[in-house]
Amino acid sequence: MNEPGVEAFEQLVARLNYPMFVVTTAAGDVTAGCLVGFASQTSIHPPRFLVGLSRRNHTFRVAADATHLAVHVFEREHLDVVELFGGQTGDAVNKFDRCSWHRGPERLPILDDAAAWFAGKILDRFSLGDHVGHLLEPVAGRPPHDLEQWVTFGDVRDLRPGHEA
């Protein structure tokens, strides 16, 4: 049985409706990407953002050989792309055959249906538990125009992840 604090924590985080991101990366010709909820700005000056990648994911393994990550935000009308990146694993399918994308800064795969994105240089990696934190310095990006209905945890909480966490 869980500690009381763990139960309270789990009930709280199950209800939080935080934004969801699709994080992509590339190492040589290999592209990868997955849905990420464990992500947050961590500093204003200098600007910093932390992305937690599960050690089990294909994206984590490709990111180990990468220098940059791209962080995308999606409007709900493109939930299909978000579900593709969260519900399938690059170990079994090529997600990039199933969506529209182009090579952006640092040859990162940029998803064309995203409402906004930024590219970040990986400054540091450290263990967060079963996820590994990737600390990013933003180096390029496209800001949103009228971002209103962006995809949040509530939109994907019933999605079965492509990889066990």
Ligand X SMILES: Cc1cc2nc3c(=O)[nH]c(=O)nc-3n(C[C@H](O)[C@H](O)[C@H](O)COP(=O)(O)O)c2cc1C
Which residues sit at the interface with ligand X, rule CB under 6 A? 32, 34-38, 52-54, 57-59, 86, 88-91, 131, 153, 156-157, 159, 161-163
DSSP symbol at 29: T
Closest-CA residue to 39 (of 132, 111, 102): 132
Nearer to ligand X, 122 or 146 (CB): 122
The nearest distance, CB 145 to ligand X, in angstroms, is 26
Distance CA 5, CA 2 (A): 8
Determine which helix (DSSP H) or strand (DSSP E) holds 136, and give its type and residue range: strand 131-142
Distance CA 79, CA 153 (A): 12
The nearest distance, CB 59 to ligand X, in angstroms, is 3
Nearer to ligand X, 119 or 151 (CB): 151
The nearest distance, CB 92 to ligand X, in angstroms, is 8
Q: Sign of the CA dihedral 99, 16, 42, 57?
A: negative
Structure token pair of residue 92: 């079994």
The nearest distance, CB 58 to ligand X, in angstroms, is 3
Nearer to ligand X, 104 or 162 (CB): 162
Type of residue found at 19: P
Nearer to ligand X, 34 or 71 (CB): 34
Which residue sits closest to ligand X, CB atoms considered? 162
